[in-house]
Chains A and B, each alone.
Chain A
Amino acid sequence: MNFRSECRKIKRTGFLPAFIAGGFLAGAVPVLNMLFRSANYIKPDVNPVEVLFMANWQTMALLNILLVLEGACILYHTEYTDNAMQRMRTLPFNESGLFINKFLLVLMMCTILVAIEAAAIGFCCEHWFGGTVIHGAAGYMHICIEILESLGYSLLLVLPAALLSLFIASICKNMWVSLGIGVLCIFTATMLPADNFVLSLFPFAMPFQILAGTAPDTVYNFITACIAEIIIILLAEMLFLKARRSFE
């Protein structure tokens, strides 16, 4: 199963435009927030990245998760609506390859999404904090690195949600069912208390985490848990495919 054919399958599904539009929407969040309420945030001696994340990330992360869920649903919807999956399953390749390639596609989209968001945060730093809070080339360099680190962390933490969405979408032949389950999970995630480490490990809750201002130990724990979740969900999908083949 090749990655290129997965990319071809998304033609005319609205998958690509959804991610691009979503990226710009998420990017608009910090910009608009600063446009109208910059007085609340601009103070001397603050860390601009931390301030921007604290003020906007909850909304941006929510958008990211919704997009990832929708993307996953679209990807499997094309397989199931006109029964294309049956033809795919009679071709000589392992079904797990299909899942992995769909995951790679979502990963690629998330990277684009996060890059747009990084640009927006960078723009806010430069426009509202430049000269007053950030000084000189070294200061800008430092901010750039911080933004990249923060969004790299965010990208990693959104992956378990992406995988879980794909897992749900691959199980349910009806897109509305998987979308419904996913929305319920996201809703639950937003209700979980953010200060409880174990509860915030729920895949749909993890993307709300922020790197800036978090203790290195906690960051380390989240990264470890995130990688563990990725492995577990991948294994669960393989098991599911095996089981489905033997029960059908």
Chain B
Amino acid sequence: MNIIETSNLTKSYAGFFAVTELCLHIPKGKVYGFLGPNGAGKSTVMKMLLGLTRPTKGSFVIDGKRYPESRIEILKEIGSFIEAPSFYGNLTGKENLEIVQSILGLPASAVDEAMELTGITQYKDRPARKYSLGMKQRLGLASALLGRPPVLILDEPTNGLDPVGIHEIRTLVRSLPQKFDCTVLVSSHLLSEIELMADNIGILNHGHLLFEGTLNELRQMAALRGYPYDNLEDTFLAIINDDNMQRSGIK
């Protein structure tokens, strides 16, 4: 069963298409890796799912609720973290989480749980403005995890983290479906990273979905089309390269 489905989702900015006729199918209870080079439109898609930007065309359904009619209902189910961390710099990490907790109407224990999971408990009383980049990133993640939402949308959650942090967050993301019974949509530019976290992947380039399926299906597809398939990073690069060549050919 798919918990998120988009149909012909399109976003254009002043004549250029950031996302074109996207049809995503994200199965419930899985980690879905959203992959693409810089500017592919990953963040744009995630922002549309959160109602931060309005689709030029198309629509989507999350957990049976359709956008835009049920925007608020949809937001109740999503924990999110988009691009740069967003927080109140004058408040401490804990106070930041408490704001979100009180808006969502969650018990106070949710804050402690989220801080524990993301490892910011020891910095909870420091103003968020004075956090290091990695701590801000973790604060953003903690805020997304508050209240164990059924759907998590994480845009490059390991950006700015040290190797140990990257490993920690990967492991956390990987474990979320079992732990919280939730679905995760996570983006990255690195297939090597997605490979370690995701069950299903979608590859996006210039706003077009080039591939959607499991990692095994990706290997099969690569073998069929003559792309290298022993190293998935190479597969990814070959797919993107091929698509870019075709695109310049069309022009």
Residues of A within 8 A of B (CB): 1-2, 4-5, 8-9, 11-13, 78-79, 81-87, 89-94, 245-248
By a CB distance below 8 angstroms, the chain B residues around A245 are 51, 54
**Contacts A13-B90, A78-B88, A83-B86; is A2 near B100 (CB within 8 Å)?**
no
3 interchain residue pairs of minimum CB distance = A83-B86, A92-B75, A82-B89
Q: Is the CB of A86 within 8 A of B86?
A: yes
Q: Is the CB of B86 within 8 A of A8?
A: no
B78: CB under 8 A from chain A?
A: yes
How far, in angstroms, from A53 to B91 measured CA to CA in the complex?
A: 40
The count of A-to-B residue pairs whose CB atoms sit within 8 angstroms is 82
- Closest approach, in angstroms, between the C-beta of B103 and any C-beta of chain A? 5
With both beta carbons as reference points, the residue of chain B lying nearest to A79 in the complex is identified as: B88
How far, in angstroms, from A187 to B86 measured CA to CA in the complex?
A: 35
| Size class of the contact patch on chain B | 20 to 34
Q: Is the CB of A93 within 8 A of B91?
A: no
B122: CB under 8 A from chain A?
A: no
Q: Is the CB of A1 within 8 A of B103?
A: yes
With both beta carbons as reference points, the residue of chain A lying nearest to B80 in the complex is identified as: A90
Q: Is the CB of A90 within 8 A of B99?
A: no
**Contacts A83-B84, A92-B72; is A9 near B91 (CB within 8 Å)?**
yes
**Could you list 16 examples of A-B contacts with CB < 8 Å?**
A5-B103, A11-B91, A11-B95, A12-B90, A78-B88, A79-B88, A82-B89, A83-B87, A86-B52, A89-B51, A91-B100, A92-B104, A93-B72, A93-B103, A245-B51, A247-B54
**Contacts A1-B103, A93-B72; is A87 near B86 (CB within 8 Å)?**
yes
Q: Which B113-162 residues have C-beta < 8 A from chain A?
A: 127-129, 140, 143
How far, in angstroms, from A84 to B100 measured CA to CA in the complex?
A: 11
Q: Is the CB of B100 within 8 A of A248?
A: no
- Closest approach, in angstroms, between the C-beta of B60 and any C-beta of chain A? 15
How far, in angstroms, from A89 to B80 measured CA to CA in the complex?
A: 11
- Closest approach, in angstroms, between the C-beta of A74 and any C-beta of chain B? 10
Q: Is the CB of A87 within 8 A of B143?
A: yes
Q: Which B40-82 residues have C-beta < 8 A from chain A?
A: 50-54, 72-73, 75-76, 78, 80, 82
B212: CB under 8 A from chain A?
A: no
- Closest approach, in angstroms, between the C-beta of B80 and any C-beta of chain A? 5
B216: CB under 8 A from chain A?
A: no
